[in-house]
Amino acid sequence: MRFRSPVHASDHQGESLRLKEVKVAENAEIAAGIYRVTFPRAWDFIPGQTIALTTDSAIPARYYSIASGCRDPLVEVLYDLVPDGLLTPRMALLHAGDALLCSEPFGAFRDGEGASLWIAAGTGVAPFASMVRSGSGADRTLVQGSRTLAGLYLRGYFSSVLGARYVPCCSAEREDGVFPGRSTAWISGSELPDAERFLLCGSSRMVVDARDALLARGIPFDRVISEIYF
């Protein structure tokens, strides 16, 4: 589930979203407690946008960033299983052909022209995956943080497309080519790229810590754009 930082807010929680039925193409656990669900795309969208999903009209919909490219035939969404939640335990049981209720895309978490630094953790990497898959990886640097190596979703893809502009960070495990620590440690101790914007996406703690680390490096507050996942 996601929510935009109030500083850059476009709060959709009060809106009445029209949900239409889609058929699940695939629903798989890609890491411990992390799932990827796909279904046929029936609309156009801008990379960085969000959709509302639920399994039943009686269960409140939750918001998820699209992870697929804007021209991909299937929409891809990453979600965390919340064992005591209302929605994700039901989503985790979905199989190919099952019904899912989905809104059309909305939201304004997107990049602009010029170089950017993207910082993500967990399923917060989804909007950046959509941007890269849509061809917007040039002049972008992605710093992806995770406690475990398995949590560096799409690591091979990002590495192949972005090359040296992809920086995987892992705080609990070590491996060659992976920065040993949190993404905030990389921000604090590394040479930052010359970027026009700094886009952050992940948990509230990660976003606040990363924002504070950027501000401590002298980055102006108005150049930091945040998307928080709950």
**Which domain CATH number covers 85?**
2.40.30.10
Residue type, 74: L
Looking up tokens 């993500």 gives 120
Domain limits at 155? 116-229
Distance set, CA 222 to CA 8, 111, 215, 227 (Å): 10, 14, 10, 14
131 and 91 both lie in a single domain:
no
Average pLDDT on 70-88 reads: 97
11 and 95 both lie in a single domain:
yes
Any idea how long the chain is? 230
pLDDT at 8: 31
**Is 109 part of any domain?**
no
128 and 95 both lie in a single domain:
no
42 and 97 both lie in a single domain:
yes
* Number of domains comprising the chain: 2
- Whether 100 shows a pLDDT value over 50: the answer reads yes
88 and 36 both lie in a single domain:
yes
81 and 136 both lie in a single domain:
no
132 and 224 both lie in a single domain:
yes
CATH code at position 142: 3.40.50.80
Q: Give this prediction's pTM.
A: 0.91
**Is 51 part of any domain?**
yes
Take residue 178 and report the two structure tokens written for it: 């992976």
pLDDT class of 17 with cuts at 50, 70, 90: confident
17 and 41 both lie in a single domain:
yes
> How far is residue 26's CA from residue 36's CA, in Å, rounded to a whole number?
8
CA 69 to chain CA mean position, Å: 13
**Is 108 part of any domain?**
no
The overall average pLDDT reported for the chain is 92
The answer to whether the beta carbons of residues 140 and 119 sit under 8 Å apart is no
Average pLDDT on 4-27 reads: 65
Q: How many of the other CB atoms lie within 10 Å of CB of 193?
A: 14
**Is 153 part of any domain?**
yes
Nearest of 167, 166, 199, 155 to residue 30 by alpha carbon: 155
